[in-house]
Chain A
Amino acid sequence: MRSLWKLATAALLITMATPALAQGAATATIVVQQPWARATPAGAGTGAVHMTLVNKSGSADRLTGASSDDAPTVQIHEMSVVNGVMRMRQLANGLLIPAGGTVALKPGSYHVMLIGLKKPLTAGQTLPLTLVFEKAGNISVTVPIQAMGAEQDKGGGMGNMEMK
């Protein structure tokens, strides 16, 4: 019973500390940190959303899908550049977030892919996004859109820093 209270208090504290957080999920087991997307070129059909997912719970969870009012299709993808070839794969089984673990969705790696954008992603605007987790349920976040060159500098994490 006491530990339950501890958990509830912890969840409350996390809720207050992190604006982008589980809304509608029973407990705040997954925390979505610093979601961001890059602005897209004119007429681009796709965009990518990045973020850090923190699993505060004692059991593994899985990001299984997502949806947005601004794109009819949203998928979880992994991108890599190996030997000069760019590869893109849809993660059919979703993305595993280990118990107590952190997974970064970042350029050159995992991302939430928006397909069939209704309008280009414009720097300074935001994008509504609902993430679907196997256990944590639906988590809605507002994704700020950064300039096209965001996180361009090799050493830095400009996108992340701006979100703090």
Chain B
Amino acid sequence: MRTRQFIVTAIAGVAGFAGVALCLALIGSPNGAAPAGGVPSIGGPFALVDDTGAPVTEHTLAGKPYAIYFGYTFCPEVCPTTLFDLSRWIKNLGPAADKLNYVFVTVDPDRDKPASMHAYLSSFDRHIRGYTRTPEQIAKIAKEYRVYYKKIPTSDGGYVMDHSALIYLMGPDDKLVTVIAYQEADASALTKLNNLASLTPSS
């Protein structure tokens, strides 16, 4: 079981590095605009549960742009910092914040269950939802979003996770618009999020 998971993870990892490399080219682009023809294909169907235990699929996010980030709640630094930054940016967006969805997908489904993710997310902006389910389902969505993650054992018999540390900004058509890097400057991140919010179809 564990071996299989590692293999799945490794495959997702190889795909992930290619995705990350492409994504990194987007970070520096002015106003978060994607270079023409250079957008990697990211995203796809998924079947997970959110932090309230409700089933969620790609249709849950359909029609609205969204920010999606992969991490885990046992993450001591990068994930809380990213979610803290994202919470500050959401607050700065003002009313435009409601034009987007914000998703935190765990790469550690063995430990991150809906209830624990719900408690964890209570420390951040209320817009951010947590997604989890089985290791297989997580491996599937990680592969689709080209997210790299890997379990690294520690001496106490536990583990930490290596994982991609980018926030993907996805358009209402479920296509990648740009990414926000770890600890990106507030002004740059806010410009990207505001641009993303402007893509929301008016209804």
Number of A-B contacts (CB under 8 A): 106
A79 at the interface (CB under 8 A from B): yes
Kindly list chain A residues whose C-beta atoms are within 8 Å of the C-beta of B183.
108, 154
Name the prevailing secondary structure of the B interface residues: mixed
Instruction: Name which of A4-12, A41-49, A125-133, A137-145 contacts chain B.
Output: A41-49
The answer to whether B165 and A86 touch across the interface, beta carbons within 8 angstroms, is yes
Interface positions, chain B 49-80, Cβ under 8 Å from A, are 73-78, 80
Kindly list chain B residues whose C-beta atoms are within 8 Å of the C-beta of A2.
none
The answer to whether B80 and A44 touch across the interface, beta carbons within 8 angstroms, is yes
Interface positions, chain B 147-162, Cβ under 8 Å from A, are 148, 152, 154-156, 158, 160-162
The answer to whether A42 and B120 touch across the interface, beta carbons within 8 angstroms, is yes
Kindly list chain A residues whose C-beta atoms are within 8 Å of the C-beta of B116.
43
User: Given A46-B74, A73-B156, A40 and B164 touching (CB < 8 A)?
Assistant: no
A38 at the interface (CB under 8 A from B): yes
The answer to whether B75 and A81 touch across the interface, beta carbons within 8 angstroms, is no
Q: For the side of the interface on A, what is the size category?
A: 20 to 34
C-alpha spacing A12/B119, complex, angstroms: 47
Kindly list chain A residues whose C-beta atoms are within 8 Å of the C-beta of B21.
83
Q: Pull 29 A–B residue pairs with CB atoms less than 8 Å apart, ordered by A.
A: A38-B80, A41-B124, A42-B123, A43-B116, A45-B73, A46-B76, A48-B77, A73-B156, A75-B154, A75-B156, A79-B76, A83-B21, A84-B166, A84-B182, A85-B16, A85-B164, A85-B165, A86-B75, A86-B78, A86-B162, A86-B163, A88-B152, A90-B154, A90-B160, A111-B76, A115-B158, A148-B123, A149-B88, A152-B84
> Which residues from chain A sit less than 8 Å from chain B, CB to CB?
38, 40-48, 73, 75, 77, 79, 81, 83-90, 92, 107-108, 111, 113-115, 148-149, 152, 154
> Which residues from chain B sit less than 8 Å from chain A, CB to CB?
16-17, 20-21, 23-24, 73-78, 80-81, 83-85, 88, 111, 116, 119-124, 148, 152, 154-156, 158, 160-166, 179, 181-183, 185
